[in-house]
Amino acid sequence: MNKYQKVLNAIASGRGTAQQMHHITNNPAQYILELRRKGWELPTSRIQYITQEGKSSWYGLYQMTEKDRARLRVSL
């Protein structure tokens, strides 16, 4: 299984933040960009949270559309 497949599987299983995907690659955003260029939609949601210091921040959560999920099923 290559890194692209691992990134897609992580997103499909609900582990779609860059931080959660760092065990796969040092630059998950680059893999997402390349997958989008290959036709994957992979929308990003902004999730707001409060840091330990009490400051407002956000992180991106990559998700799959139904079209992406169907494409992933075919590729397996």
Local confidence band at 76 (pLDDT 50, 70, 90 cut-offs): confident
Q: What is the largest CA-CA distance in the chain?
A: 45
What is the pTM (predicted TM-score) of this model?
Answer: 0.86
> How many domains are contained in the chain?
1
CATH number, position 20: 1.10.10.10
For 1, 15, 55, 61, 64, the CA distances from 42, given in Å and listed in that order, are 19, 13, 28, 10, 5
Q: What pLDDT score does 29 carry? A: 92
Domain around 20: 3-75
The crossing angle, in degrees rounded to 10, of helices 3-12 and 66-75 is: 130
Which residues pair with residue 45 across a beta bridge? 61
Q: What pLDDT score does 71 carry? A: 96
pLDDT in tens, 2-55: 999 999 999 999 999 999 999 999 999 999 999 999 999 999 999 999 999 999
Q: What pLDDT score does 75 carry? A: 84
Asked if 61 contacts 44 with a C-beta cutoff of 8 angstroms, the reply is yes
